[in-house]
Structure 1
Amino acid sequence: MSSPSTPPPAGAARPSRGRPPRLDQARTVEAALVLLDESGLDALTMRRLADAVGVQAGALYRHFATKQDLLTAMAERILAGCATPPPDADWSGRLTALARGMRTALLAHRDGARVYAGTHSTGPNTLGFAETLIGVLREAGFGHEDAARTALTVVHFTVGHTLEEQAALQPGDQGPADPEQLREAVTAARFPHLSAALPVLTSTDFTAHFEFGLGLLLQGLRALHRPGPAA
Structure 2
Amino acid sequence: MSAASTPSPSSPPGARPATTTGRGRPPKLDPARTVEVALALLDEAGLDALTMRRLAEAMDVRAGALYRYFATKHDLLTAMAEVLLADCLDRPLSSPDWSERLAELARRMRTALLGRRDGARVYAGTHATGAHTLGFADALIGVLREAGFAADDAARAALTVVHFTLGHTLEEQAACQGAGEHGPADPERLREAVTPGRYPHLATALPVLAGTDSAAHFEFGLTLLLQGLRALGPGDTRPETA
TM range (shorter): 0.7 to 0.9
Task: Report the identity percentage.
Answer: 72
Corresponding residue for 2:126? 119
User: Which of the pair has more CA radius of gyration?
Assistant: 1
Which of the residues 48, 57, 63 maps onto 2:63? Answer: 57
Change (3 A) 1:172 1:21: farther
Q: Deviations over 1:21-52 (max 9, x none)?
A: 53111111010000000000000010111111
Q: How far, CA to CA, are the matches of 2:235 and 2:102 in structure 1?
A: 16
Residue 180 of structure 1 and its aligned partner are, at CA, apart by 2.7
Matched, 1:39 2:34: no
Corresponding residue for 1:7? none
Which of the residues 67, 78, 81 maps onto 1:72? Answer: 78
Corresponding residue for 2:117? 110
Matched, 1:136 2:143: yes
Q: Which runs of 5+ in 2 are unaligned?
A: 1-21
Which of the residues 87, 104, 112 maps onto 1:97? Answer: 104
Q: Contact 1:186–1:194 (CA<8 Å) still a contact in 2?
A: yes
Change (3 A) 1:45 1:188: same
Which of the residues 156, 162, 181 maps onto 2:163? Answer: 156
- Identify which of structures 1 and 2 has the higher relative contact order when contacts are C-alpha pairs closer than 8 Å and 6+ apart: 1
Letter in 2 for 1:132: A
Let me know the Cα RMSD of the aligned residues: 2.5
Q: How far, CA to CA, are the matches of 1:226 and 1:51 in structure 2?
A: 53
Aligned length: 215
Q: How far, CA to CA, are the matches of 2:92 and 2:197 in structure 1?
A: 48
Q: Which runs of 5+ in 1 are unaligned?
A: 1-15
Q: How far, CA to CA, are the matches of 2:231 and 2:153 in structure 1?
A: 13
Letter in 1 for 2:115: A
Q: Secondary structure at the match of 2:177?
A: coil
Which of the residues 21, 31, 55 maps onto 1:25? Answer: 31
Letter in 2 for 1:37: D
Residue 81 of structure 1 and its aligned partner are, at CA, apart by 1.9
Residue 156 of structure 1 and its aligned partner are, at CA, apart by 0.4
Q: Contact 2:99–2:226 (CA<8 Å) still a contact in 1?
A: yes
Q: How far, CA to CA, are the matches of 1:164 and 1:112 in structure 2?
A: 11
Letter in 1 for 2:189: Q
Change (3 A) 1:98 1:85: farther
Corresponding residue for 1:146? 153
Residue 142 of structure 1 and its aligned partner are, at CA, apart by 0.4
TM-score normalised by length of structure 2: 0.82
Runs of 4+ in structure 1 off by over 3 angstroms are 171-177
Which of the residues 203, 228, 236 maps onto 1:220? Answer: 228
